[in-house]
Amino acid sequence: MNSRKLKIHLFTGFKTGILLLFFIFFMLPIVWVALTSIKRPVEQMAIPPIWFPEQPVFDSYLTLFQNPDFATSLVNSLLISGVATLITIVIGAIAAYSIERFRTGGRMLPNLLLMTRMIPPVVVIVPIFLLAYRVNLLDTYVLLIITYSALNMALIIWLLRSFFAQLPVEMEEAAMIDGCSRIGLFFRIVLPVVMPGIAAAGLICFIFCWNEFLFAVTLTGSHTKTMPVLTSTFVSERGLDRGLMSASGLVSSLPVIVLTIVFQRYLVSGLTQGSVK
Amino acid sequence: MPSQPRERLWFVLPGVLIIVLVLLIPILAALGLSFFSYPLQRPDLGIHFIGLDNFKRLLADTTFMNSLWRSVQFTVGAVASEMIVGTILALLLKSHVWGKSFFKVAFMVPMMMVPVVVGVAWRLFLLPDFTPLGPIFQFLHIPFDTSKLLTDPGWAMFSVILADVWQWSPFVMIMMLANLQGIPDDVYEAAQMDGASRWKTFWTMTLPLVAPALLSVAVLRAMDAVRTFDLVYILTSGGPGTATEMVSVYNYKIAFSRYDMGYASAVSTAVMIVLAVVIFGALYMLSRGGKKR
């Protein structure tokens, strides 16, 4: 190996080393939580702290799974995020196609939509809470589902619009000449082509709904509590049960982490499409 | 074409309607409520019109002013750090390194994690006396009292920013990576042919080319950072004292621990006004910057 090659390899190794340090930084808190969740209470409270439990115990997970709120919250999270995503994608896709193909609403509409993304959630939560309180909608699925759809609608329309924009008009015209109706065209030609885009948008919408906390904690009660809300109750109520806190945190993040790793490609395309252009 | 312009409006109507219903009407409602006294916990007092009293109270409210200032500190600190860390990561991942796709996926995990859990994780990780950083710093002979990280006002803000940087630098990384990959290779080849060093190529070619993207990613991040709630609420819940109580947390506490809905709406209205001024200012500068080029 000549010295030039060695130098290049050394440089590559150096850069990889920096990335490795960042990797440790990004993994450290997650690893700490994972280790805390399998420690015995004595080990959780040890000073100085110990990294690895002598013998892993899964009591925290058992306590979590036996908590009657756990199953409810998990089902609620899945149901609310799932339905909200479905509604947002269906309504959003039709709107995005119309805006992109027919220029519905001119240039104003897309920009107005984008502006709604800038509204801080804390600002709208008081009136939404008061209204829901008056009409007895607190602690219902409908309330949270509609709220989540609205929160993500603008982003999803923008995202899907950029995916529809990549679709050549000629393709649609050819199908129209062959006697395809507008509706048939949308479902048979347009949708299959933009499916990856729809998948990306759906994934992002689902994750955002799953992660949402502010609206969930104010608008839900014991019936419609979601996973982040459940996790937060372990923080405030029994701040000392760090095992339960960790276990709940990990379990509620697990679906999102798995989705991220499996569908990384879609996520990247969705995140970069929507905003860079 | 069979569908007429008027009919096409039906396609966008459901989406627009839901946004108007859940976002725009509540904003107007908040604006209206800010002129009322509305203590939810005392139904006997009812709802009164009190004119500008809430706003007078607001202007004299030092806690509010401080929380606004802390939001600014947090946003500037977090976004600036995220831009630097994210861009460094993107540059590294764009260049020749080992295990590229592994790092890319691993770095995306924090960004997608539930913010509440990020708060929980950092809280557990930094708990005074129990933080594993203590032994690590001791081992490295760094004389730093790790219990300060959540108990000292200045360091608590640092910790909150650190947790936000941990979660959102990957977002900047992904955006910048997409942009860097958009730069055609012949730009670099030409620079190399001219004998420009790597360092010089970065400052004179790469950076100006991605500058507009950097700016728009920073704006995106800033908009999210200003309204950060979950992370702070779980990690420090505004403490110690009010050292990390940003305006979002303050607003929430007035509404849902004091149930002072009128005053909370006034705070919301003030936040909207400040944000609108900042956003339009930023957009104006952006568009002017765009024209110059």
Question: Any idea of the CA torsion for A48, A50, A56, A61, to the nearest 10 degrees?
Answer: 70
Domain of residue A116 covers 60-276
Give dist(CA B41, CA A190) in Å, integer.
53
- Residues B183-192 have pLDDT tens digits of 887 777 777 7
Q: Which helix (H) or strand (E) holds B98?
A: none
**Coil, helix or strand at residue A110:** helix
Q: Is residue A112 part of a domain?
A: yes
Statement to judge: residues A139 and A250 lie in one domain: yes
Q: Cα distance from A145 to chain B (closest Cα, Å)?
A: 11
State whether residue B12 sits within 8 Å of chain A by CB: yes
State whether residue A167 sits within 8 Å of chain B by CB: no
pLDDT tens sequence for chain A (277 residues):
578 888 888 999 999 999 999 999 999 999 999 999 998 887 887 777 888 888 888 988 998 999 989 999 999 999 999 999 999 999 999 899 888 888 877 778 888 887 888 888 888 999 999 999 989 999 999 999 999 999 999 989 988 988 888 888 887 888 888 877 777 887 888 888 888 889 999 999 999 999 999 999 999 988 899 999 999 998 865 566 888 999 999 999 999 999 989 998 888 888 887 554 4
Indicate the domain borders of chain B. 62-292
pLDDT value of residue A179: 79
Of A49-53, B86-90, B225-229, which range is least confident? A49-53
pLDDT value of residue A257: 92
Task: Search chain A and give the residue with CA nearest B167.
Answer: A26
Statement to judge: residues A40 and A75 lie in one domain: no
Statement to judge: residues A73 and A18 lie in one domain: no
Q: What's chain B's average pLDDT?
A: 88
Q: Is residue A49 part of a domain?
A: no
Of B154-163, B201-210, B229-238, which range is least confident? B201-210
Q: Is residue A84 part of a domain?
A: yes
- Residues B53-85 have pLDDT tens digits of 999 999 999 999 999 999 999 999 999 999 999
Q: Cα distance from B201 to chain A (closest Cα, Å)?
A: 17
State whether residue B97 sits within 8 Å of chain A by CB: yes
pLDDT value of residue B293: 44
State whether residue A254 sits within 8 Å of chain B by CB: no
Q: Is residue A10 part of a domain?
A: yes
State whether residue B195 sits within 8 Å of chain A by CB: no
Statement to judge: residues A174 and A120 lie in one domain: yes
Q: Reply yes or no: is the peptide bond before residue A255 cis, omega within 30 of 0.
A: no
Give dist(CA B173, CA B223) in Å, integer.
17
Q: Is residue A85 part of a domain?
A: yes
Q: What mean pLDDT comes out for the span B156-167?
A: 96
Q: Is residue A53 part of a domain?
A: no
CATH number of B62-292: 1.10.3720.10
pLDDT value of residue A34: 93
Give dist(CA B243, CA B8) in Å, integer.
52
Cα A265 from chain centroid (whole Å): 15
Among B residues 20-79, those touching chain A with beta carbons less than 8 Å apart: 21-27, 29-30, 33, 40
Q: What mean pLDDT comes out for the span B227-247?
A: 90
pLDDT value of residue A102: 82
Statement to judge: residues A77 and A37 lie in one domain: no
Q: Is residue A231 part of a domain?
A: yes
pLDDT value of residue B4: 59
- Residues B111-120 have pLDDT tens digits of 999 999 999 9
pLDDT value of residue A237: 58
Statement to judge: residues A36 and A143 lie in one domain: no
Chain A CB contacts of B233 under 8 Å are 213
Q: What CATH number does residue A83 fall under?
A: 1.10.3720.10
Statement to judge: residues A21 and A80 lie in one domain: no
- Residues B6-38 have pLDDT tens digits of 677 888 899 999 999 999 999 999 999 999 998
Among A residues 70-89, those touching chain B with beta carbons less than 8 Å apart: none
Among B residues 253-292, those touching chain A with beta carbons less than 8 Å apart: 255-256, 261, 264-265, 268-269, 271-272, 275, 279
pLDDT value of residue B1: 44
Provide the number of structural domains found in chain A.
Answer: 2
Statement to judge: residues A204 and A81 lie in one domain: yes
Interface contact flag, A33 B120, Cβ < 8 Å: yes
Closest CB to A12 among B5, B9, B98 = B98
pLDDT value of residue B155: 94
| Tokens read off for A246 | 């960790």
Statement to judge: residues A33 and A142 lie in one domain: no
Statement to judge: residues A241 and A109 lie in one domain: yes
Give dist(CA B76, CA B219) in Å, integer.
11
Statement to judge: residues A19 and A68 lie in one domain: no
Statement to judge: residues A21 and A72 lie in one domain: no
Q: Which residue in B114, B74, B126 sits closest to B238, CA to CA?
A: B74
State whether residue B108 sits within 8 Å of chain A by CB: yes
Interface contact flag, B217 A118, Cβ < 8 Å: no
pLDDT value of residue A217: 93
